[in-house]
């Protein structure tokens, strides 16, 4: 693994830990449009960008996103609506990208499972609205990932 890849992976792990601690995720929005970028890894694939902090999102609100503002969503909404929906739409999650627009690109269900794993490690349980429990959500993620 290159130093660059190692740094991106460390930032990804920090993203997972931070969103579990704060139970919120940040994006950049303008009129209900969320900041996206083309994937640097996969042709014809869009990446929706998320940050673990308001400051991280705000740091990227320039150039084509200069009219975008940081907006937070709850961790439950991110998991249930965004990660699951993005999986269905074949989009990727970009986590804590820097102002050079480099960062981790990940499958949304993998991100969701990493969040659930971190929640369990910290003995935290979220109240899901579309699933009976955090355990059911985790089981559904694992089933979907194994089916790929």
CA distance 142 to 39: 25
Mapped onto helix, strand or coil, the DSSP state of residue 121 is: helix
Residue 129: band (very low, low, confident or very high) from pLDDT cuts 50, 70, 90: very high
In the prediction, which pLDDT does 64 show? 86
If one counts the domains in the chain, the total is 1
Q: Is the dihedral of CA 1, 12, 105, 143 positive or negative?
A: positive
Band (1; pLDDT cuts 50, 70, 90): very low
pLDDT for the residue 79: 98
Measured distance CA(44)–CA(38) in Å, rounded: 7
User: For residue 120, what pLDDT is reported?
Assistant: 97
**Which structural domain, as residue segments, surrounds residue 135?**
3-147
The better pLDDT of the pair 3, 56 is held by 56
Per the CB < 8 A criterion, the answer to whether 40 and 8 are in contact is no
Q: Write down the mean pLDDT value for the chain.
A: 94
Q: Give Cα 94 to chain centroid, integer Å.
A: 6
Please state whether beta strands 92-95 and 46-50 pair in parallel, antiparallel, or not at all (unpaired): parallel
Q: Is pLDDT of 3 > 70?
A: no
CA 22 from chain centre, in angstroms, equals 14
Give tens-digit pLDDT for 78-89. 999 999 999 999
């Amino acid at each position: 693994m290159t130093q660059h890849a190692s740094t991106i992976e460390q930032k990804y792990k920090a993203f997972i830990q931070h969103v579990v601690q704060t139970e919120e995720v940040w994006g950049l929005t303008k009129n209900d449009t969320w900041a996206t970028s083309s994937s640097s890894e996969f042709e014809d694939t869009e990446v929706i960008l998320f940050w673990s902090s308001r400051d991280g999102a705000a740091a990227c609100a320039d150039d084509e996103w200069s009219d975008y503002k940081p907006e937070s969503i709850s961790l439950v909404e991110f998991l249930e609506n965004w990660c699951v929906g993005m999986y269905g739409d074949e989009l990727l999650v970009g986590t804590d990208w820097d102002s050079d627009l480099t960062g981790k690109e990940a499958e949304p269900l993998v991100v969701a499972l990493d969040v659930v794993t971190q929640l369990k490690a910290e003995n935290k349980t979220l109240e899901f609205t579309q699933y009976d429990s955090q355990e059911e959500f985790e089981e559904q993620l694992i089933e979907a990932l194994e089916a790929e």
